Structure 1
Amino acid sequence: MASHPIRIGVQLQPQHSPDYANIRDAVSRAEDLGVDVLFNWDHFYPLYGDPDGAHFECWTMLAAWAEQTTKVEFGALVTCNSYRNPELLADMARTTDHISGGRLILGIGSGWFEKDYDEYGYDFGTAGSRLNDLGEALPRINSRLSKLNPAPTRHIPVLIGGGGEKKTLKYVAQYADIWHSFVDIDVYKHKASVLAEHCATFDRNPDEIERSSGLKTDDGLDPMIAQANLLADAGVSLFTVGTGGPGYDLEAVEALVAWRDKRNG
């Protein structure tokens, strides 16, 4: 049973929409539907479809969402740690948090999309080196947040994405308020047990960490809801589906919002 109320997120992927007005409209429609969290992603090129198609940058968009919305939480799913100095990222997060009146989620991961790195001049390194960099960045982000004037409006929730058992889940146990994954029920249960072991090392209650999962929509709405029920019964409480431009279809989101309301009673 989830220790947190069921919440619904939508990732409005900032790709294949040369007119930003389409994204602005999707933000308004999603908030009107009653979603709990709006996400974008932190890439410089589309991840599917035309690889050189229209695309917008993550954090300038989040600042616009902070002004446009009034109720939803929002953030990147997820920020790539490699693209910004940790102190700068902390300041960006604090500023965006203030613009929104305290609704930002700081989603972060180690990065993986090699084209972004190559085209924008970042050192791709290895999966291990990028994870090590993330481990070094997280305490620096916390330190800078504690020094900024004015301070954040609240403790900005940190979402860490990934399921690596040696490093990523250790970072989740140390630093995260939300753990995001995209796995089936059996893999989730295994990863959750590994996370609990890391939490014990740091004397932390694993139930403090909200569990978040992406959901597939390719097979239709009924299989999506069935998967959500299985994960919710296992402790996942934040469910997110993605949709891309230019149309930003929210049919699956609407179905999940109705499901959420039934589950939460």
Structure 2
Amino acid sequence: MTHPIRIGVQLQPQHADYAQIRDAVARAEDAGVDVVFNWDHFFPLYGEPDGKHFECWTMLGAWAEATSRVEFGALVTCNSYRNPELLADMARTVDHISGGRLILGVGAGWFERDYDEYGYDFGTPGSRLADLAQALPRIRERWSRLNPAPTREIPILVGGGGERKTLRYTAEHARIWHGFGDVDVFTRKNGILDDHCADVGRAPGEIERSVGVNRRSPGDVADALVTAGATLFTVGVGGPDYDLGLVEEWVAWRDRRA
């Protein structure tokens, strides 16, 4: 399966009023991006640690109504914060509101302050990964039982680069993998994902490969990442200004290739 080149933007829901975030979503859609992401945290990840911040999924429900073309989702939902059946129902509902444009991004979780202040058990990396392994099939099973059913097979995106577990879960359940790191790291982990696909009897081409390109221009890294297998390129943009200049460079690069 050949995946088209796509451009995403992660509008980080920190240090901004919601009106500024809503404006950035509209500008991103107008600029031609393919996917708009937020993230699933309760406090800023950088800058003033107690600065302005908004919750992920209530925001996605608003984005479902505020947009008309782009796909959207969290990069990524923390599996620890919601019961898997509830998350499945939330995703199904937001997908219906949007007319079938939601991506369910999910990961094992890592930001300890979120857990401590909101009363979740932080556990260990191993226990959080075990919880993710249990949650992914439960989400898919719940989708099969909901009425009305999801508009389509909602694409699951798994974020992370753990070579023994996270990439294995990706091969088993996901339609998009989001990786991190430079070209060499991405290339190695992409190959390991291919190996896991072979182990579970899945064609590697079924999984779209996504990579973050924060602060990197297409002229610097795009060709090498395409060669390594990436087709979805996502730029992170912070508030309150949400400067989309680099995003627009990536959109222009995508269009020149097309």
TM-score by length of 2: 0.98
- Of 244, 251, 258, which aligns to 1:250? 244
CA distance in 2, matches of 1:35, 1:234: 22
CA distance in 2, matches of 1:225, 1:125: 42
Q: Which residue matches 1:36? A: 34
Secondary structure at 1:165's aligned position in 2? coil
Q: Which residue matches 1:6? A: 5
Pairs within 5 Å for 1:33-182: 33-182=31-180
CA distance in 2, matches of 1:252, 1:25: 17
Q: Which residue matches 1:183? A: 181
- Of 191, 208, 211, which aligns to 1:210? 208
Q: Provide the alpha-carbon RMSD of the alignment.
A: 1.0
Post-superposition shift, 1:57?
0.1
Preserved CA contact (<8 Å) 2:190 2:229: no
Preserved CA contact (<8 Å) 1:3 1:235: no
Q: Which segment is superposed worse, 92-101 or 234-243?
A: 234-243
How many correspondences in the alignment?
258
Question: Which AA in structure 1 matches 2:109?
Answer: G
Preserved CA contact (<8 Å) 2:24 2:242: yes
CA distance in 2, matches of 1:75, 1:176: 14
Secondary structure at 2:144's aligned position in 1? helix
Preserved CA contact (<8 Å) 1:39 1:74: yes
Pairs within 5 Å for 1:15-26: 15-17=14-16, 19-26=17-24
Structure 1: which 5+ residue stretches go unaligned?
Answer: none
Q: Which residue matches 1:235? A: 229
CA distance in 1, matches of 2:119, 2:221: 39
